[in-house]
């Protein structure tokens, strides 16, 4: 399986011609190097939460690719009401899709949905655990450090973890999260998009030490899981 970083918290996972995108914030993302209409065919769109820097281009991409948006119930409903194809789930539940299995796990963060003027789609933010071709990726979403992460210890091949601080974990807490989860590999995300989330991935790598193999990707770069 190949994971391509598209800046901020956006990743594309692909294997055997199946392709899923996580948190497709491309329009307005200063770190993105691909336009939303240039994204190759997508089978699914996985969303951690409804903030604008994660929901991003999800609805437009769903309509363009007839790709299913997988999200918590309220966020899925918001997208469905705007013409997207959706599959609603919730924290703790897993579902097997043609491309692989998705499970939503806890994340501690805000639940407002960007563009929802009524507030009726406000939801719980989530982390996403996705297994494709026997490899399991944990995208933590936006979250603080939490003991819930220990439930995933030893079960994760690749962890995608925010290090930008202010809205999420910073480098020190992110390194502790890696200790909790003990993934084989880890890629830092959600930093340097704006000045307020400036962070040094080299410092994160130092703090992780031998716990896990850290790969730092620039937007557009890929990592192939060993
Ligand atoms: Ni957020
Ligand atoms: Mn965010």
Quick: pLDDT tens for 108-136. 999 999 999 999 999 999 999 999 999 99
Cβ atoms of 54 and 25 within 8 Å: the answer is yes
Q: How far is the CA of 197 from the centre of ligand 2 (A)?
A: 10
Q: Closest-lying ligand to the alpha carbon of 25?
A: 2
Calculate how far, in angstroms, residue 191's C-alpha sits from the geometric centre of ligand 2: 9
Distance 109 CA to ligand 1 centre (A): 7
Structure tokens belonging to residue 7: 């800046």
Ligand 2 center to 203 CA (angstroms): 21
Smallest-distance ligand from the CA of 8? 2
Q: How confident is the model at residue 226 (pLDDT cuts 50, 70, 90)?
A: confident
What pTM value is reported for the model? 0.98
pLDDT of residue 169: 98
| Residue 170, SS3 per DSSP | strand
What structural domains and CATH numbers belong to the chain? 2-215 (3.60.15.10)
Give, to the nearest 10 degrees, the angle between helix 171-181 and helix 201-208.
40
Ligand nearest to the CA of 189: 2
Per-residue model confidence as pLDDT tens digits over 163-219: 999 999 999 999 999 999 999 999 999 999 999 999 999 999 999 999 999 999 999
| Mean pLDDT of the 144-151 span | 98
Q: How far is the CA of 51 from the centre of ligand 1 (A)?
A: 5
Alpha carbon of 123 to ligand 2 centroid (Å): 15
Residue 198 CA to ligand 2 center (angstroms) comes to 13
Q: What is the crossing angle of helices 73-80 and 58-65, to 10°?
A: 60
Mean pLDDT of 33-60: 97
CA separation, residue 87 to residues 1, 44, 47, 73, 176 (Å) = 23, 10, 11, 8, 32
CA of 167 to the centre of ligand 2 (A): 7
**Nearest Cα to Cα of residue 113 among 68, 53, 69:** 53
Helices first, then strands: H and E counts in the chain: 5, 14
How far is the centre of ligand 1, averaged over its atoms, from the C-alpha of 28 (Å)?
A: 15
């Amino acid at each position: 399986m190949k994971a391509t970083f598209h800046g901020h918290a956006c990743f594309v996972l692909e294997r055997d011609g199946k392709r899923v995108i996580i948190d497709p914030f491309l329009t307005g993302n200063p770190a993105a190097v691909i336009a939303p209409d240039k994204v190759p065919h997508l089978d699914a769109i996985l969303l951690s939460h409804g903030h604008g820097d994660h929901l991003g281009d999800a609805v437009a991409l769903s309509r363009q690719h007839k790709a299913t948006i997988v999200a918590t119930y309220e966020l899925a409903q918001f997208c469905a009401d705007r013409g997207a194809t959706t599959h609603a789930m919730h924290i703790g539940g897993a579902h097997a899709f043609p491309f692989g299995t998705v499970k939503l796990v806890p994340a501690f963060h805000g639940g407002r949905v960007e563009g929802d003027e009524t507030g009726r789609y406000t939801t719980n933010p989530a982390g996403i655990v996705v297994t494709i071709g026997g490899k399991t990726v944990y995208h933590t979403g936006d979250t603080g450090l939490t003991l819930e992460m220990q439930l995933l210890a030893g079960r994760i091949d690749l962890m995608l973890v925010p290090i930008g601080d202010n809205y999420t974990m910073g480098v020190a807490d992110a390194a502790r999260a890696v200790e909790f989860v003990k993934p084989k590999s880890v890629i830092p995300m959600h930093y340097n998009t704006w000045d307020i989330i400036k962070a040094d991935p080299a410092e994160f790598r130092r703090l992780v030490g031998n716990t896990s193999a850290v790969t730092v990707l620039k937007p557009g770069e890929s990592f192939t899981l060993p």
